[in-house]
Amino acid sequence: MKVLIVEDEIAIREALGRKLRRDGFEVVLSGDGLQGLRAFHAERPDLVILDIVMPGGMDGLTVCRRIREVADTPVMMLSAQAVTEEDVVDGLNAGADEYLIKPVRLNEFVARVQALLRRAQITVSDADQGYNDGYLSIDLHRRHVHVSGKRIHLTPTEFKLIAVLLENAGRVVNQRDLLEQVWGREYIDDVYYPRVYISQLRRKIEPDAANPIYILTEHRVGYRFEKQPPVVSKHE
Amino acid sequence: MSIPNTITLLLNGLTLALALGFLLIVLWQDIRKELNQFFAAFLFLVTLWNAGALLAQALSLVDRESPLVVIAISVMELGFTGSSVAAYALTAILVGTHSRRFQILAFASLLIVLGYQLFLIVNNRNLPIEITDDGSLTYRLQPISSIFYTIFSSATVYLIWRYRRKIRSRMLILGMTLFAAGQSLGFLNPELRALSISINISSIATLVTSFSILRQEFIVPLAERVTQVEAMHRVSLAISSQIAIDTVLSQITTQAAGWLDADAAGIFLNVGSELELATVSNLPERFVHSRVKLGQGIAGTVAKTHQSIRLENYRRQWRGEPDLPLADETFGSLICVPLIYGGDVIGVLMVVAGQQGRTFEREHVHLLELLGAQAAVAIAHSRLFAEQHELTRQVEAARSQLETLLLSTENPVVAVDRQFRLIFANPAATMLFSLGDDVKGMEITELVPRIALPTGYRNPLRDLRRNRVHVYEVSLEGKVYLCHLAALGRPRTMGWVAVLNDVTQLKELDRLKSEMVRMTSHDLKNPLQAAMAHLELLSDDVGRGDLSEVNITIDTIQKQLDRMNRIIGGILDLERVKSGTPTMELRSAAEMVEQTIEEMRHIAQERDVRLEAVVDTDSTFYADAEQFLRALVNLVENAIKFTADGGNVRVVVSRDEKEGIVIFKVEDDGIGIPEALQELVFDRFFRGGQRGQRGAEHVSGSGLGLNLVRMIVESHGGKVWLKSKEGEGTTFFITVPENGEFEQN
């Protein structure tokens, strides 16, 4: 497993790198955003770890967005900048799968890295055929999602999320179950994660994100995926 | 028949006719009046007397022996006796000394005399009558009768003399005296009586008396009534044309006194539970403002009972407390009427005659009550007017205060009616929204930008209903306002008023606070993260027995901790400089620069930056060495940070003799500062390379450095500024007063 670390603080960069190498990861280090983006294209890492405040005119958020334009590679933000939940949401909205606030213990950091990688590798049983109603189609095996016939990119976390909801289509999945199934046991208390990702997901797949029809909120309980009657295209 | 007798007869006849005429007038005019009753009785008896005398004389001419003559003479005697008593009674009534006892006495006397006369007639005693040939009647009176007549005549004359002042008509005095004299002649001298002189004189006296009484009782009052109506008219005009209460009151008292021919008058006004003498006419001024309690004195009694009081003699009739000092000694007749308006007694009007003055009649009470009603209305009106005037003044004052407040406040204030049309905008609001002159009545939506209005109406209405105020934020012309919206008018809403509070500064403070927390968090967390990570690695290494990198790791941890210490020190320095006073000593400028270079040399070497000093002066200046050094070091550190490896940083010190200042320059050939940011770099928590800004992101710092520099320089009485061009470099300037010109304050 190859991990790219983009971090301007040399002391932190080195420490994280040493820890990951020690735990058996292959590590690529990078000192600023632009360099990091180049390294991403050159090295094709399985996971990217991004600092937010970095020199060189390209901060972590920009790097994340640029990565998201071309790949679904899991991205973990690691920042000292965040103070409020909105800062975290900003990061997640840029396409990150994970947002860790400094200082973080190395052991926890590694655990999160592993959880994130685990999440990216979905095992799908043969029974799961996915979903297709003419407007929205989800192919669980090929990890393809189409909206109105157009392929859209989902981050690994987003894909895992919709897969879990689809698996329980018509039933309410509560917050804890969602956190545990999508993110992992370590995340059980990060209750704002589902909210942010659900809204991301809605923006990508719902016809009108303000009035969702697929992913419905059960107030104070959780979320529910609702299958829609097939749309018959006028061309057919 | 002799001539005198003929004259007597004529006179008698005339008197008879006139007396009857007067009698009719009196009875027709007002039979209930006591004076009229007595006057009528008097006239009737005089008529009886005259008629008897006339009849007797006439009969005796026909037949001297006729028994009818005796009857006629008896009638004459009856009339004579009666009129004698009646004259006394009338006089008593006229002078006003009648009493119940007197009445009983008068009637008893009358009855005795009449009884005696009747006794004589019944016993058929021949009257001692002589009838002469020429028809004159002479007869002697019985001594008892004479005594009675004498008593009554003398009493009459005494009364007239005693109370001559009370009978104001001289003619009446003359008439009554003459009548008494005439009668006296009759019984004192039968000869004179025989010549009918007594009857004649009495007849004339009766005429005179009757005329006087008629004049006094009917003609004069009628004439008075005319003048009273006129006076009333005048008074009404005078009162109603006045507004000021003092003038009204003095008009009323003057008019009342003049009208009733009184000696003095005054008005008491009701002040709570007391009456206060407000105005006097012809009474000592020092009595004004003297007070009597409700129910005390005449005035108090009148005010309490709402009933008018008339006294003929204050001293004799009033037993309560005196209304005024010396009232007992000076007041004679008096009338006091309540001034009633809307069912309340607002005061009393008192009219007084002196002890030697006139006596007020009942009808004067009515007149005064009439005046009192007018006066009450006038007083009430002028009070209402005064109250309204005062109220208007207060309202006007409050309005002008409010207006001044609204006009002078820096907070924009706007009011609209229920149709959202502008009612009011103060100068601040006019400026903010660039309102013209004729904007009143225009819809608010046309006058102010949409962003200044609340979004939607449901939330504002709900807030107004619950909390009476709705608050929302408005950003206008680069400023942030909190707009407080409240309803106008209660209970029915007539409109709304909005007051805008400029909270730009508070917002900025809030931003600074958040920025500081964010920066401090960021600046401290990075080294913390590094130190923690390396500590974990270290403990891992030690656990595994791998000591190859221990020294490097410990060194890193040490550096990170130093960094944190420096950042915290920076924050504390700033607070210290801000709150403390510097300790000033005379310092050499060159020495300062050298120390700075010394301190920064190794950092410059690390970055391969060439650091040099150019000292062009031996100036000295007052400085807190530690602080000023800190400022210079900060600037140099900054310059090194923003300069690429291998660049140059120069510290130049010179003096401007003309200005008397020392000039420090810190020049670099680094990345420079964009023009837009040059103004901001001295602000607290500004840092080059904030998110989205290209530039010196690699520089870590607390964002406090330049702020600290400015604070220190200013505490030295100096100035700091910069010149910079992007890509070419930056020069910071510090100027401080040279050589002791700085005065420590």
Nearest alpha carbon to residue A159 among A97, A206, A105: A97
State the pLDDT at residue A3.
95
Question: B-chain residues within 8 Å CB-CB of A18?
Answer: 537
SS3 content of chain A, % helix, strand, coil (to 5): 40, 20, 40
**CA-based nearest residue in chain B for residue A32:** B698
Kindly state the average pLDDT of the residues B154-165.
81
With tokens 């008097």, the residue in question is B42
Tokens of B30: 């007002």
> Strand runs (DSSP E) across B409-518, as ranges?
413-417, 422-425, 469-476, 479-488, 495-502
Q: What is the mean pLDDT of residues B689-715?
A: 59
- Percent of chain A scoring above 70 in pLDDT: 94
- Please identify which residue in the block is written with the tokens 């009484």: B213
Beta bridge partners of B417: B495
Q: Are B399 and B386 in contact (CB under 8 A)?
A: no
pLDDT digits (tens, 9 = 90+) for B13-52: 777 787 778 778 777 877 777 777 788 888 888 888 878 8
Annotation: CATH topology of B242-387 = Beta-Lactamase (3.30.450)
Q: B535: distance to nearest CA of chain A, Å? A: 9
> Quick one: closest CA in B to A62, which residue?
B692
Q: What per-residue confidence (pLDDT) applies to B124?
A: 61
Taking an 8 Å cut-off on Cβ atoms, the answer to whether A15 and B534 are in contact is: yes
A112 to chain B nearest CA, in Å? 15
> Which residue is closest to B524 within chain A, CA to CA?
A80
Chain B residues whose CB is inside 8 A of the A83 CB are: 514, 517-518, 521
| pLDDT for the residue B652 | 92
Tell whether the model's pLDDT for residue A222 goes beyond 50: yes
Query: Of the candidates B523, B532, B694, which has its C-beta nearest A103's C-beta?
Result: B532
Q: List the single range of B193-197, B205-209, B493-497, B500-504 with lowest mean pLDDT.
A: B193-197
Beta-carbon contacts of residue A95 (< 8 Å; ≥ 6 apart): A64, A65, A67, A68, A75, A155
Rounded to 5 degrees, φ, ψ at B426 are -80, 170
- Chain B residues with CB under 8 Å of A104 CB are 529
A102–B697 C-beta distance less than 8 A: no
CA distance B742 to B710: 17
pLDDT for res A40: 94
pLDDT at res. B426: 87
Least CB-CB distance to B525: which of A14, A19, A103? A103
Give the pLDDT score at B391.
Answer: 92
What is d(CA B160, CA B151) in angstroms, rounded to the nearest whole number?
14
pTM of the model as a whole: 0.49
Structure tokens at B696: 């010196």
User: Euclidean distance between the first and final Cα of chain B, in Å?
Assistant: 141
Percent share of chain B, pLDDT over 70: 88
Question: What pLDDT score was predicted for residue B196?
Answer: 66
Looking at the predicted structure, is the pLDDT value of residue B345 above 70? Answer: yes
Residue A236 has pLDDT above 50, yes or no: no
pLDDT band at B690 (very low <50, low <70, confident <90, very high): very low
Query: Do residue A16 and residue B691 have CB atoms under 8 angstroms apart?
Result: no
**Nearest residue of A to residue B554, measured between CA atoms:** A11
Instruction: Pull the structure tokens for residue B714.
Output: 């200013």
For domain B409-502, the CATH class is alpha beta
C-alpha separations of B224 from A41, B218, B361, B365, B375 in Å: 129, 10, 13, 15, 21
At B211 the pLDDT is 81
More confident residue, B554 or B579: B554
Task: Please write the tens of the pLDDT for every residue from B237-290.
Answer: 777 777 777 888 888 888 888 878 888 999 998 888 888 888 888 888 888 888
A185-217: pLDDT as tens digits:
778 777 778 888 888 889 888 988 888 999 998
> Which residue shows structure tokens 């969602």?
A178
Q: Is A104 on the interface with B (CB under 8 A)?
A: yes
Neighbours of B696 (CB within 10 A): 20
**Residue scoring higher pLDDT (A233 or B394):** B394
Q: Are B259 and B372 within 8 A, CB to CB?
A: no
**Burial profile B545-566: b = 16 or more Cβ within 10 angstroms, e = fewer:** eeeeeeeebeebbeebeebbee
Does B242-387 match B409-502 in CATH topology?
A: yes
Contact with chain B for residue A54, Cβ under 8 A: yes
| Chain B partners within 8 Å of A85 (Cβ) | none
Q: How many residues does chain A have?
A: 236
Higher-confidence residue of B189 and B635: namely: B635
Q: CB within 8 A of B259, min separation 6: which ones?
A: B228, B231, B235, B367, B371
Reading the block at residue B636, the tokens are 């140099």
B537·A55 Cβ contact <8 A: no
Q: Tell me if chain B has a CB within 8 Å of the CB of A15.
A: yes
Q: What is the reported pLDDT for A82? A: 67
Q: pLDDT band at B525, cuts 50/70/90?
A: confident
Q: Do A2-120 and A131-225 agree at the fold level?
A: no
Q: Is the pLDDT of residue B424 over 70?
A: yes
Tens digits of residue pLDDT in B714-736: 888 889 999 988 888 889 999 99
pLDDT at B326: 78
Q: Looking at residue B327, what DSSP letter applies?
A: H
Whether residue B693 has pLDDT greater than 70:
no
| DSSP code of residue B126 | P
Question: Is the pLDDT score of B586 beyond 70?
Answer: yes
Q: Is the pLDDT of residue B192 over 80?
A: no
Token digits for B745?
Answer: 């304050």
Report the interhelical angle of B197-214 vs B170-188 (nearest 10°): 160
Question: Residue A55: which of B530, B559, B697 has the nearest Cβ?
Answer: B697
Taking an 8 Å cut-off on Cβ atoms, the answer to whether B526 and A55 are in contact is no
Q: Is B583 on the interface with A (CB under 8 A)?
A: no
User: B583-737 belongs to which homologous superfamily?
Assistant: Histidine kinase-like ATPase, C-terminal domain (3.30.565.10)
Query: Domain ranges in chain B?
Result: 3-222, 242-387, 409-502, 507-575, 583-737
Query: Cβ–Cβ contacts within 10 Å for residue B142, how many?
Result: 16
Q: How far apart are CA B674 and CA A28, in angstroms?
A: 34
Q: Which fold has domain A2-120?
A: Rossmann fold (3.40.50)
How do A2-6 and A47-50 pair as beta strands? Answer: parallel
Is the CB of residue B716 less than 8 Å away from at least one CB of chain A? no
Residue B698 with chain A: CB contacts under 8 Å? 8, 55-56
Instruction: Output the CA angle B13-B55-B69, nearest 5 degrees.
Output: 165
pLDDT of B509 > 80? The answer is yes
Separation of alpha carbons B735 and B148, rounded Å:
136
Chain B residues lying within 8 Å of A11, measured CB to CB: 527, 530-531, 533-534, 556, 559-560
Report whether pLDDT(B692) > 60.
no
What CATH number belongs to A131-225? 1.10.10.10
Looking at chain B, the number of H-run helices and the number of E-run strands are 23, 20
Taking only the tens place, the pLDDT of each residue in B74-86 is 777 778 877 888 8
Average of per-residue pLDDT across A205-231? 87
> Domain B3-222 sits in which CATH superfamily?
Rhodopsin 7-helix transmembrane proteins (1.20.1070.10)
Q: What pLDDT sits at residue B527?
A: 87
Higher pLDDT, A163 or B697: A163
Rounded distance, CA B547 to CA B530, Å?
A: 19
Task: Express each pLDDT in A28-54 by its tens digit.
Answer: 999 888 999 999 999 999 999 999 887
Torsions phi, psi for B351 (to 5 deg): -120, 130
What is the average pLDDT value for chain A, to the nearest integer? 85
The more confident residue out of A235 and B332 is: B332
Question: What pLDDT was estimated at residue A42?
Answer: 94
CA distance A124 to A130: 10
Per-residue pLDDT of A64-113, as tens digits, reads 999 988 888 899 998 887 667 788 888 888 888 888 888 889 999 999 99
**For chain A, what are the domain ranges?**
2-120, 131-225
B350 or B686: whose pLDDT is higher? B350
ipTM over 0.90: no
Give me the pLDDT at residue A91, please: 84
The CATH number for B507-575, chosen from 3.30.70.260, 1.10.150.530, 1.10.287.130, 1.10.3720.10, is 1.10.287.130
Q: Are B436 and B444 in contact (CB under 8 A)?
A: no
pLDDT band at A19; cut points 50, 70, 90: very high
Judged by DSSP in three states, B733 sits in: strand
Report the residue from B526, B534, B691 with minimal CB separation from A102.
B526
Secondary structure (DSSP) of A83-130: -SHHHHHHHHHTT-SEEEESS--HHHHHHHHHHHHHHHS----TT---
The answer, yes or no, to whether residue B145 has pLDDT greater than 60, is yes
When scoring B526, B539, B548, B556 by the number of chain A Cβ atoms within 10 A, the one with the most, hence best to mutate, is B526
* Separation between Cα atoms, residue B336 and residue B231, nearest integer Å: 19
Let me know the angle formed at the C-alpha of A65 by A61 and A71, rounded to the nearest 5 degrees.
135
